């Protein structure tokens, strides 16, 4: 079961017009975390997007969003990189804008690389 912040982030991503044509998968993972004898809940949401870059096959970009009951932060990790970004729970829109910007940047970079390869051929 997703918590409030994960549902809000997912809804904003689905409804954003900049990426509403993308296909993707969302999977939630929840677990109990024990810190200094206290039990907390950790919520995690894995997002995988299929991005049409003009190649024969769509390329994927993935993120993991994590929050927990003992912290007021949301962490976003972009897969296949060392990029990790921390956000405040109060600004969920910043999380969705960050993810959307990374998806669009990924799409544009891959399209630009394709055109450069065609020009150099």
12-52 pLDDT tens trace: 998 988 887 888 999 999 999 898 888 999 999 999 998 88
Say if pTM beats, i.e. exceeds, 0.85. Answer: no
Residue 77 tokens read as: 């990790």
The model's pLDDT over 51-105, given as tens digits with 9 standing for 90+, comes to: 887 777 888 899 999 998 888 899 999 887 767 788 887 788 899 899 999 999 9
Do residues 27 and 49 make contact, with C-beta atoms less than 8 angstroms apart? no
Where exactly are the structural domains of the chain? 4-115
Do residues 9 and 44 make contact, with C-beta atoms less than 8 angstroms apart? no
């Amino acid at each position: 079961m997703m918590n409030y912040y994960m549902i809000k982030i997912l809804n904003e991503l689905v409804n954003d017009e900049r990426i509403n044509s993308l296909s993707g998968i969302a999977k939630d993972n929840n677990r109990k975390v024990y810190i200094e004898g206290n039990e907390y809940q950790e919520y995690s949401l894995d997002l995988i997007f299929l991005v049409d870059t003009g190649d024969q096959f769509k390329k994927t970009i993935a993120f993991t969003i994590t929050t927990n009951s003992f912290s007021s932060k949301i962490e976003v990790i972009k897969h296949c990189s060392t990029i990790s970004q921390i956000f405040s729970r109060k600004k969920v829109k910043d999380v969705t804008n960050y993810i959307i910007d990374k998806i669009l940047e990924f799409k544009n970079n891959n399209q630009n690389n394709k055109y450069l390869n065609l020009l150099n051929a």
